[in-house]
Amino acid sequence: MADFLNNLLFIFQRISWLSVLDIMLVTLIFFLLLYSLRDTQAMALLRGMIILVVATILLTSLVELPAFSWFAQNSLPAVLLALPVIFAPEIRRTLERIGRAGTLWPASVKTKDLALTETIHAVVSATARLSARQHGALIVMQRLDSLNEHIQSGVQLNAKVTPELLLQVFYPNTPLHDGGVIIINSKVVAAACVLPLSASGILNRTPERQMGLRHRAALGISEVSDAIAIVVSEETGSISIAHAGRMLRRLEPDRLENILTAFLRQSEREQKLNIFEKLFPGLFQRKEDK
């Protein structure tokens, strides 16, 4: 016990303010990394890797296994090289958010806010009418992360967002009915876009147990980007919204408009001051609609 106290006192005597700052920086990096991966498929993968590393260390330190120890030591460099490959999508999205954090103020904030308000009204109006007619729809609104890869998979439109255009796109049995519509600012950039399907299993835990491909695609695009996806069920006409791997279901048009406004109607200055929200959208408190 005395040796332990002496060693502890020796450590505290050697700590300076630079050492504390160094430890805090490393802790902050790990905290932000784990927080950004929270509720994602990468988190499960990272948890499995941590368990594997801890088990390997315990085996090599507690039991004398020369062959296994040699194999573990020589495999470590390969694991370190594999990490950037495994977490490539998460690393890319984080770097993109960091790069967009320094964007300049727009020339006219009022003009941008007016266009965004008109876009939200058009999307909500179209969604309400699609819901009343029970026409299935999937509308994706880009935020900070680029969706160019998915835009290329669809039909280019580059048209102003209007309720009539969205109603025509999602009219049953039309060429653009299948797939998703991607909106950037006040433009419908593309329709009939192919979106990634979610494999998280969240929809399997809903009371209905099974959701269609539109809901899975909405969750999928929200898992790989910070986009907002709006879904209208073809079977029930219910409205849902997906963001950051979570889905709010059975929304009324008024509530949908409030949610879209909360996410999208922000001035560039507010986005600059709220840089952590842009870098780590998981800080948003999400609750699945019951």
For residues 288 and 101, give the distance between their C-alpha atoms in angstroms, rounded to a whole number: 29
pLDDT at residue 78 greater than cutoff 50:
yes
- DSSP character string of 102-165: TPPPPS-HHHHHHHHHHHHHHHHHHHHHHHHHT--EEEEE--SS--HHHHTTSEEEEEE--HHH
Task: Give the domain ranges of the chain.
Answer: 2-100, 109-283
- Residue 172, helix vs strand vs coil: coil
Report the CATH number of the 109-283 domain: 3.40.1700.10
pLDDT at residue 280 greater than cutoff 60:
no
Residue 243: strand pairing partners: 246
Taking each continuous run of H as one helix and of E as one strand, the counts in the chain are 12, 7
pLDDT at residue 178 greater than cutoff 70:
yes
- Taking only the tens place, the pLDDT of each residue in 228-265 is 999 999 888 999 999 888 888 889 999 999 999 888 86
3-state secondary structure 222-277: HHHCCCEEEEECCCCCCEEEEECCEEECCCCHHHHHHHHHHHHCCCHHHHHHCHHH
Q: pLDDT value at position 38?
A: 64
